[in-house]
Every structure is written in structure tokens, then in C-alpha cells.
Amino acid sequence: MAKIYIPYGSVEGQTARIVEYIAELVGAHGHEAETVDLKHAGDSLPDGQDAVIVAASVHIGKHEKYVVDFVRKNRSELERLPSAFISVSLAAHGDEHGGEGYVAEFEEQTNWHPAHVGMFSGALSYTRYNFLKRQMMKKIAKDRGSTDLDTSRDYVYTEWDGVKHFTEDFLAGLPAPSGAAQA
Ligand SMILES: Cc1cc2nc3c(=O)[nH]c(=O)nc-3n(C[C@H](O)[C@H](O)[C@H](O)COP(=O)(O)O)c2cc1C
């Protein structure tokens, strides 16, 4: 069993949902997951972790500053342990390469170059925005030719299967526990 630490940033809650889904998968594979909302947590990485999955969402072109700070502070541990980065944005929606620019900037800001990077679509969370944000996001959606303009509801674009595959690939690549019985 591996202990997997999953610190994340989320403004409207979609990244939080994605990491909870990942934590469930991790548990279903017999490992232990701890999700930590970095907005409300200290920025140190507790000892005794076997792997780390960092997740963050994009707003106005950037991932949460407190996630950048966490990665900067713990970079050497993230480089030592098996680790992954998950970026959640709308740019990732329907475009395999959408979101790459945000990840490149994150890597530049943190100097962390994770071996595993997942870019997933988030949501248009109209019901979680204030009036101005709701109008702004509706206009952006409209300008992009989207028909998802009913602001009384949310539109979730996350590719749950993609998140599942990414997580299972990551788990499959973890080293066998040091106490594992030899065949
Ligand atoms: C104010 C605002 C700005 C955003 N800016 C971007 C952006 O620059 N690029 C992008 O791809 N998505 C952008 N998004 C979409 C978010 O990345 C998406 O809604 C995501 O699901 C947010 O994740 P969270 O709910 O975990 O915070 C923006 C959303 C909001 C509300």
C-alpha cells in the first residue's frame, strides 16, 4: 500500500471534485490517499508520503499562486518522490493541446518539471459565480461559439475516463513497496 498525498487548489470546486474522484480510485486500488486544500492548509509536505499528485486550476491564465508557492517550497521532495501535476482549465476542453501554455508557465514559475502531467477540462460553474463573473464567463462562452449559456446551471466538461486512465497509469508506475514479498 502506498500513501499518496494530493494537495490542490480550486476556486469554484471542480478541481476539488477531480481530486476527490482520484482519491476514491486510489483507495479502490488498495492505496491510501490524502487530499489537502492548499488554500486552507500549511505549505509543507508531511513526511512519510510515497507519492504526490499536485492539482491546480487556471484563472486568467494562471494556476493558484498558493499552489505555485507550495511547489516551489517542496520541489526537492517532489523531484525525489514519484509525482504528477494536474492542470484544470477550459482551454483543455476539446483540445488535446489546450492548456499546455499554462502548464509551461507553471513549470517556469516553479522550476518543477513533473514526469506526469494531466490536463483536464474543468467546468463552467455559473451558479458559483457572482453576477459580474457570470456575465463575463457567459460572454466568453458565447464568443467561443458555445451554446452553454444557461446561467442557472453549471456545465461540467471533465473527462472522467481520462482522469481515471491518468490515475491508473500513475499508480501502475509506482515502485513496489520495499517490504513486498519476493516471488
Ligand atoms: C474568472 C475566471 C477566469 C478563468 N480563466 C481561465 C483561463 O484563463 N483559461 C482557461 O482555460 N480557463 C479559465 N477559466 C476556467 C476555469 O479554469 C474552469 O472553470 C475550472 O473548472 C476552474 O476550476 P476550479 O473550479 O477548481 O477553480 C476561468 C474561470 C473563471 C471563473
Per-residue pLDDT of the chain (183 residues; tens, 9 = 90+): 999 999 999 999 999 999 999 999 999 999 999 999 999 998 999 999 999 999 999 999 999 999 999 999 999 999 999 999 999 999 988 887 889 999 999 999 999 999 999 999 999 999 999 999 999 999 999 998 999 999 999 999 999 999 999 999 999 999 887 655 544
- The DSSP output letter for 173 is T
In 9-82, DSSP assigns E strands to: 32-37, 51-59, 62-63
Strand 3-8 relative to strand 51-59, pairing: parallel
Residue 67 CA, ligand 1 centroid: distance in Å: 15
Residue 89 CA, ligand 1 centroid: distance in Å: 5
pLDDT for res 96: 78
**Atom of ligand 1 minimally distant from the CA of 57:** 23
Residue among 87, 89, 102, 131 to mutate when testing ligand 1 (max atoms within 8 A of CB): 89
The candidate with the shortest Cα–Cα distance to 112, out of 167, 74, 63, is 74
Residue 31 CA, ligand 1 centroid: distance in Å: 31
Q: Which residue CA neighbors atom 3 of ligand 1 most closely?
A: 59
Cell reading at 52: 504526490
Q: Which residues line ligand 1 (CB under 6 A)?
A: 10-15, 57-61, 88-91, 122-123, 125, 129, 133, 137
